Structure 1
Amino acid sequence: MSLINVTNLTFAYDGSYDNIFENVSFQLDTDWKLGFTGRNGRGKTTFLHLLLGKYEYSGSISAHVSFEYFPFHVADKEKNTLDVISDIYSDYQLWEIMRELSLLKVADDVLYRPFSSLSNGEQTKVMLAALFLKEHSFLLIDEPTNHLDMEARQLVSEYLSTKRGFILVSHDRAFLDNCVDHILSINKTNIEVQKGNFSDWWENKQRQDHYELAENEKLRKDIKRLSEAAKRTSNWSHEVEKTKNGTRNSGSKVDKGYIGHKAAKMMKRSKSIEQRQQAAIEDKSQLLRNVESSEELKISPLAYHKNQLVELEHVTVDYSGKKAATDISFTVEQGERVALTGKNGSGKSSILKLICGQDLHYTGTLRRGSQLKISYVSQDTSHLQGNLTDYARNHGIDESLFKAILRKLDFSRIQFEKDIASFSGGQKKKVLIAKSLCEKAHLYIWDEPLNFIDIISRMQIEELLLEYAPTMLFVEHDREFGHNIATKVIEL
């Protein structure tokens, strides 16, 4: 066991005028299994990079362990997997890596195949297995679930539950609950560490938020009273000062020396009182510092003139010369929220793209309602660039509504001035979701919409979908989200 001490850490990117961290201090134990949570853009990945020494910062970070980052950068993916593992950790024993892969249910033959031929899920498991072989290393695991289907997520979380000494960035509630024993959270104004899993932390946070909100009205009154008192004190000293330069009610001359001395004493006293009052105001305002904004979202789905919107009968999709989905049959009816599930590579995304009208080769029968309006959220965010105003104009959506939704999803106004290409992965995904929420559609088709999106925003989106009940077809590997939202599940 050793400690990682972070003291008075302050950091901002070059050219930026807003600090990501400001004088934060905390302590971590290298034996802990830490879940790392916080809203998008708060600096989770940035903090991991600071631990790795990638940026200059003020303050100090001291540790007696070496840090290893996941995902490991593979320069040549055409190498055999065994050679890639050697690049990660050259001092391994073959039996050790085979033991780890066995725990992750990865076949031994992947070791002798090009790394590029492995699925994203297999690549994730191989890298985790290799990194955990490094003794005296503390792993920084950055969002491993984004390329894992539901079954693989369960398997990897069980694997991580047997390990120790890591920070895990993930927004999947069930995944975190299964494998962490502490939570490191980036709040609005600080970073804090709590013992327990995500559900324990969330329960504590709700309790604290409810307490702060219950105190809110009382604090408002106290702050108003203190502000008025400070104003009266200031006015009082200024009135006395004014008597130096004129006559008082009777018109008699005044002793300017006496009045000046008295005014100075009163001014000094009033300034002291004012400072104490201002400190009290700031102290009381601080009590509300970490209540997260999670305002209700809205959507305006269109009602379709028929009950059935989409029907597939024995559909098989050919994608890049391979059968991506085979013999698929299901319907989507008015008011349903249909979840497509299945392992990676089973053709879920291909089915969604086909229904959206993309030109894919398929056999079987696809019936899509006439004049059906579809709003689509894709997995891919790499095409996003430019400013939000132009993006709204180019997609024919209301700019004010679009930005209002982003504000509710925890975008700061500073963010509106930046190029979308510079946004974090979660912020880019929120742009696509906000666009979809602005579109009036009969059917909302979302392909892994929650990748990179923070947990509080996921809960906001869940509440929206449950309240407004739009007709949906979606793919999402977040177990909690699927359980809460889906009215029908189609397994491929």
Structure 2
Amino acid sequence: MSLIQVSKLTFAYEGSYDPIFENVSFQIDTNWKLGFTGRNGRGKTTFLNLLLGKHEYEGTISASVEFDYFPFQVKDRGRMAIEVVEDIAPDYEHWKLMRELNLLQVGEDVLYRSFETLSNGEQTKMLLAALFLKDNHFLLIDEPTNHLDMEARELVSQYLRGKEGYILVSHDRAFLDNCVDHILSINRTDITVQRGNFSDWWENKKRQDNFELAENDKLKKDIKRLSEAAKRTSNWSDEVEKSKNGTLNSGSKIDKGYVGHKAAKMMQRSKSIESRQSDAIEEKSRLLKNVESADSLKLTQLHYHKNRLVELDRVSIYYGETPATGEINFDIERGERIALSGRNGSGKSSLLKLICGEELKYTGTMRRGSGLVVSYVSQDTSHLNGSLSQYARDYGIDESLFKSILRKLDFSRVQFEKDISAYSGGQKKKVLIARSLCEQAHLHVWDEPLNFIDVISRMQIEQLLLDYAPTLLFVEHDREFTNAIATERIELSNG
């Protein structure tokens, strides 16, 4: 056992006014299975890069282990997979590699195939197996679940559960819960380390947030009451001061000594109220620093005149003469939220594109309702650029509502001034989702919408959908999200 010590860490990118980290201190045990969570853009990947020595910083990071990063960058993807393993762990023992691959249910034949021909799941498993062959190395695992189907996620999480000595960045709650024993969290104003899995951390956070919200409401009432008392006291003091030079109704002269004494007492009381008000304001300012935005939003979907929106009867999609799917039979009815699942390569994305109106070769019968308006969220974000305002105008959506959704999903107002092309992967996906939620459509079709999106935003999107209740067809490998959202499930089998 050894420790990774972080002391007074401060870092900002060149040209930036806002530091990513400021005077941060904590420690990590190298035996931990550490889940790393935080909103998009808060510095998770930056911190991993600091551990890897990629940036200069103030403060100290001390460790007696070496760090390795997943995913390992394979420069020549045309080489055989076993050659990639040799690049990662030159002194590996073959029996140990086979032990790791067996745990991940990868056959030995995969080693002798070109790395680029391996599926996403096979590449992920191969790289993890190779990286865990190295002794006295602490592994920095950055979002291994992207593009993995549910079955592959389950297998990789079981594999990691049997390991130790890593930081795992993942936004999949079920995945984190299954394989971590501590959580490192980048919050709005600090970084915390806590024992337990993600669900333990989230329950503690909700309790703390609820306590702070209750205290905040109490202090707001106290401040209002004290402010009104201070105003009344000030008015009384002014009236007394004015009476110093007056006379009583009876014609007698005012006792200036008595009036002065009374004014002094009122002044003392006013200062006491002012002091209590100042203390309450100071205490209130310490609250809500890590409470995430929870503003409610009003969203509406276009009403379709028929109950059935789409019908597929023995539909098979083809690329050339090769079938991309088996025969598919299902309907989409108004109000349903259908989760489309299946292994990678089973044709899920092709089916979504066909339903959206893309011209693909297919057999069987597909009926789309006349005048059906579909809002589509694709996996690809490479086309995004320009300002948010221009993007909203291009799609004809309400800019105010669009930005309100993004604010709820942790966009700062500074982000609104940036070009979308400069956003992180998670922020770009949020732009696509916010745009879709604003569009007036009868049917929303989302293809792996949550890739790169942080876990708290996933839960907020989940709640928005439950409140909004749109008709939705989606592909998503996040088990918790799918369980919460789906009213129906369709599974495609390969071929």
* Aligned residue number for residue 160 of structure 1: 160
Q: CA deviation at 1:298?
A: 3.6
* Aligned residue number for residue 348 of structure 1: 348
Instruction: For residue 350 of structure 1, give the secondary structure of its aligned residue in structure 2.
Output: helix
Contact 1:39 1:456 in 2 (8 A): yes
Q: Distance in 2 between matches of 1:420 and 1:222?
A: 43
Consecutive unaligned residues in structure 2, runs of 5 or more? 233-237, 239-243, 247-270
Q: Distance in 2 between matches of 1:223 and 1:367?
A: 62
* Aligned residue number for residue 47 of structure 2: 47
Residues 1:385 and 2:385 are matched in the alignment: yes
Distance 1:223-1:40 versus aligned 2 partners, 3 A rule: farther
Contact 2:315 2:363 in 1 (8 A): yes
Distance 1:199-1:447 versus aligned 2 partners, 3 A rule: same
**Comparing 30-39 and 287-296, the one that deviates more:** 287-296
* Aligned residue number for residue 316 of structure 2: 316
Ranges of 4+ aligned residues in structure 1 off by more than 4 Å: 221-232, 273-280
Q: Distance in 2 between matches of 1:283 and 1:204?
A: 21
* Aligned residue number for residue 89 of structure 1: 89
Contact 1:144 1:170 in 2 (8 A): yes
Contact 2:24 2:191 in 1 (8 A): yes
Residue type of the alignment partner of 1:372: L
Distance 1:282-1:91 versus aligned 2 partners, 3 A rule: farther
Q: Distance in 1 between matches of 2:274 and 2:466?
A: 50
* Aligned residue number for residue 65 of structure 1: 65
Residue type of the alignment partner of 1:446: W
Contact 1:297 1:461 in 2 (8 A): no
Contact 2:377 2:436 in 1 (8 A): yes
Distance 1:25-1:249 versus aligned 2 partners, 3 A rule: farther
Q: CA deviation at 1:444?
A: 0.5
Q: Distance in 2 between matches of 1:168 and 1:231?
A: 55
Q: CA deviation at 1:320?
A: 6.9
Residues 1:117 and 2:117 are matched in the alignment: yes
Distance 1:83-1:298 versus aligned 2 partners, 3 A rule: farther
* Aligned residue number for residue 396 of structure 1: 396
* Aligned residue number for residue 256 of structure 1: none
Q: CA deviation at 1:423?
A: 1.0
Residue type of the alignment partner of 1:46: T
Contact 1:427 1:453 in 2 (8 A): yes
Q: Percent identity?
A: 72
Residue type of the alignment partner of 1:14: E
Q: Distance in 1 between matches of 2:475 and 2:200?
A: 28
Q: CA deviation at 1:225?
A: 7.3
Distance 1:226-1:357 versus aligned 2 partners, 3 A rule: same
Residues 1:332 and 2:318 are matched in the alignment: no
* Aligned residue number for residue 261 of structure 1: none
Q: Structure 2 matches for 1:42-441, cutoff 5 A?
A: 42-222=42-222, 281-319=281-319, 322-441=322-441
* Aligned residue number for residue 443 of structure 2: 443
Instruction: For residue 290 of structure 2, give the secondary structure of its aligned residue in structure 1.
Output: coil
Distance 1:275-1:100 versus aligned 2 partners, 3 A rule: farther
Contact 1:303 1:442 in 2 (8 A): yes
1:317-344 alpha-carbon deviations (Å, 9 max, x no partner): 1237643212111111111111111111
Residue type of the alignment partner of 1:23: N
Distance 1:226-1:489 versus aligned 2 partners, 3 A rule: same
Contact 1:81 1:115 in 2 (8 A): yes
1:403-425 alpha-carbon deviations (Å, 9 max, x no partner): 11111111100000111111111
TM-score normalised to structure 2 length? 0.88
Residue type of the alignment partner of 2:22: E
TM-score normalised to structure 1 length? 0.89
Contact 1:227 1:281 in 2 (8 A): no
Contact 1:10 1:59 in 2 (8 A): yes
Contact 1:425 1:452 in 2 (8 A): yes
Distance 1:249-1:491 versus aligned 2 partners, 3 A rule: same
Q: CA deviation at 1:224?
A: 5.7
Q: CA deviation at 1:222?
A: 4.9
Consecutive unaligned residues in structure 1, runs of 5 or more? 233-238, 240-247, 251-269
Residue type of the alignment partner of 2:326: T
Instruction: For residue 145 of structure 1, give the secondary structure of its aligned residue in structure 2.
Output: coil
* Aligned residue number for residue 455 of structure 1: 455
1:397-448 alpha-carbon deviations (Å, 9 max, x no partner): 1211111111111110000011111111111100000000110111000011
Q: CA deviation at 1:289?
A: 1.4
Q: CA deviation at 1:281?
A: 3.8
Q: Distance in 1 between matches of 2:226 and 2:32?
A: 45
* Aligned residue number for residue 256 of structure 2: none
Residue type of the alignment partner of 2:2: S
Q: Distance in 2 between matches of 1:143 and 1:132?
A: 16
Q: Distance in 1 between matches of 2:357 and 2:185?
A: 42
Residue type of the alignment partner of 1:188: R
Q: CA deviation at 1:231?
A: 11
Q: Distance in 2 between matches of 1:121 and 1:218?
A: 52
Residue type of the alignment partner of 1:354: L
Q: Distance in 2 between matches of 1:36 and 1:169?
A: 5
Instruction: For residue 177 of structure 1, give the secondary structure of its aligned residue in structure 2.
Output: helix
Matched positions, count: 462
Q: CA deviation at 1:221?
A: 4.2
Instruction: For residue 326 of structure 2, give the secondary structure of its aligned residue in structure 1.
Output: strand
* Aligned residue number for residue 491 of structure 2: 491
Contact 1:142 1:169 in 2 (8 A): yes
Contact 2:216 2:284 in 1 (8 A): no
Q: CA deviation at 1:198?
A: 0.7
Q: Distance in 1 between matches of 2:369 and 2:422?
A: 39
CA-based RMSD of the aligned residues comes to: 2.5
Contact 1:312 1:329 in 2 (8 A): yes
Instruction: For residue 199 of structure 2, give the secondary structure of its aligned residue in structure 1.
Output: helix
Q: Distance in 2 between matches of 1:295 and 1:97?
A: 50
1:198-255 alpha-carbon deviations (Å, 9 max, x no partner): 11111111111111111112222455678899999xxxxxx9xxxxxxxx989xxxxx
Distance 1:325-1:64 versus aligned 2 partners, 3 A rule: same
Distance 1:31-1:438 versus aligned 2 partners, 3 A rule: same
Q: CA deviation at 1:279?
A: 7.5
Q: CA deviation at 1:287?
A: 2.6
Instruction: For residue 146 of structure 1, give the secondary structure of its aligned residue in structure 2.
Output: coil
Q: Distance in 2 between matches of 1:205 and 1:489?
A: 32
Instruction: For residue 144 of structure 1, give the secondary structure of its aligned residue in structure 2.
Output: coil
Distance 1:228-1:37 versus aligned 2 partners, 3 A rule: farther
Q: Distance in 1 between matches of 2:471 and 2:388?
A: 27
Residue type of the alignment partner of 1:303: H
